[in-house]
Amino acid sequence: MSFMDETIASLHTKIKNKDVKVSELTENTYQKIRDVDDSVQAFLTLDEERAMEKARALDEQVDQGSEQPLFGIPAGIKDNILTAGLKTTCASQLLDNFEPVQDATVMERLNEQNIVTVGKLNMDEFAMGSSNENSGYYSTKNPWATDRVPGGSSGGSAAAVAAGEVPFALGSDTGGSIRQPASFCGVVGLKPTYGRVSRFGLVAFASSLDQIGPLTRTVEDNAYVLQEIAGHDPHDSTSVDVDVPDYLSALEGNINGMRIAVPKEFMEEGVEAGVKEQIQSAIRTLESLGASCEEVSLPNANYAVAAYYLLASSEASANLARFDGIRYGVRKGDGDLMDVYKKSRSEGFGDEVKRRIMLGTFALSSGYYDAYYKKAQKVRTLIREDFNHVLHSYDVILGPTAPTTAFKIGEQKDDPLTMYLNDVLTIPVNLSGNPSVSVPCGFSNGLPVGMQLIGKPFEERILYRVAHAYEQETGHYKEKPLL
């Protein structure tokens, strides 16, 4: 059985009808990983023994649990989401020996649905990066072209789904870290509204920006996963207590009369011609389905990257202060306390993490706070107001997810500024807190292109409605990489 030919719904039906056992499905998953992961390198840690034990137990519970839509479905989890008893490293040498004693809230909810956790997925260290090349272990490869990056920081999650290793994976999105790799790998990736999904148990990079979301092959599969992980969590003070609607009911296929905004800033210089061509083709498709698409302006979007890297780095410098080699993680040095701090952090953190800690510490320092951090917060407010203004008149905003297709491994590694611009189209959404989804919308020179849809806060249903109608009309999700 290949996940390339199955959806979560079809797997659920087969398990429910006892056409396939959960243990058989899990065995198949690990065989697929053995077959392709040497080429992709999506996984950091596998949990085969415990997964098979759970799968065999679920074989005996099919009759009781068969109404759970994710019952027995194998999943990969980004390695910055806590998994009790399963190593969680954030792809950092500093946490190489860290085994959490509790699950993140999203894992508790998925385990209540009786998923099978296959293992932990590679990422840019502490979620800082856009290519997966900042992993403290090795770089994940793009299944469509293994000499190219899968995007980041959730590159392992996107690559595992694209390669057919798992039907769904969880990632986290701070500045585009779900959507950009989803675009590069030709899968569906959703960043929910900030506060829609609990961050409790997500190792923090930038607390006011981070959000957990699903990566899947289809929009319907994405809706299945969000349905189970969304909702208020009293353990997370940023979790919002609003009702979770039935996302699957939004997949009706009818978008007639919907108004779609296309910001001119998202189609300017810097966006590859092949990417523009696929987005323009997607616009024509949506118009053929009855939607109207009009050009608008988000005038402050051009300041988003500068504001983001000040804010995110400032929050990172505070959050990562807890990793000191004392309480958990790898300890280096055997001298006094300062010696342990210095050696643990200098040897444990990679170059990109150190770069952002230093940038954030500078921005928060006396004499610079007002000039940098405070001003960046004001820009963030202007960006949020831009989105609110446009979405007052339109149902969704449309544009490319990334300005380019996947670039070659090593091509931008030594150019941080160019690397940062890979998220230029996704960062504004994290600053505003709106939901956004990336959906495959064709190919440029044989590499996937992603279309980004942005919606009103807590209106993920509308995003799914438009994305599903487009997906079913075009069938891009049926394209598969040849590994």
**171: its two tokens:** 């990632």
| pLDDT tens digits, 162-178 | 999 999 999 999 999 99
Query: What percentage of the chain has pLDDT greater than the value 90?
Result: 87
Q: Is residue 383 part of a domain?
A: no
Q: Is residue 402 one of the residues assigned to a domain?
A: no
Specify if 235 maps to a domain: yes
- Residue 245 confidence (pLDDT) above 70: yes
Q: Is the dihedral of CA 10, 11, 14, 17 positive or negative?
A: negative
Q: Please name every residue paired with 453 in a beta bridge, in sequence order, or none if there are none.
A: 398, 437
Residue 134 belongs to domain with CATH number: 3.90.1300.10
What pLDDT score was predicted for residue 181? 98
Is residue 3 scored above 90 in pLDDT? no
346 has a pLDDT exceeding 90:
no
Q: Which domain holds residue 142?
A: 3-254+438-478
Tell me how many degrees the CA angle 273-475-257 measures, rounded to the nearest 5: 80
Which runs of consecutive H residues, i.e. helices, occur in 335-414?
Answer: 337-348, 351-364, 375-391
Return the pLDDT at 326. Answer: 85
Residue 84 falls within a domain, yes or no?
A: yes
Residue with tokens 């027995």, as numbered in its chain: 72
Confidence of residue 423 (pLDDT cuts 50, 70, 90): very high
Total domains, the chain: 1
Domain assignment present for residue 371? The answer is: no
pLDDT band at residue 345, thresholds of 50, 70 and 90? confident
Instruction: Tell me if 304 is assigned to some domain.
Output: no
Q: Is residue 2's pLDDT more than 80?
A: no
Query: Percent of the chain having pLDDT more than 70?
Result: 100
At 202 the three-state DSSP class reads: strand
What does the pLDDT read at residue 1? Answer: 64
Give catalytic residue positions.
78, 153, 177
pLDDT in tens, 211-227: 999 999 999 999 999 99
Q: Cα–Cα distance between 49 and 60 in angstroms, integer?
A: 18
pLDDT digits (tens, 9 = 90+) for 67-96: 899 999 999 999 999 999 999 999 999 999
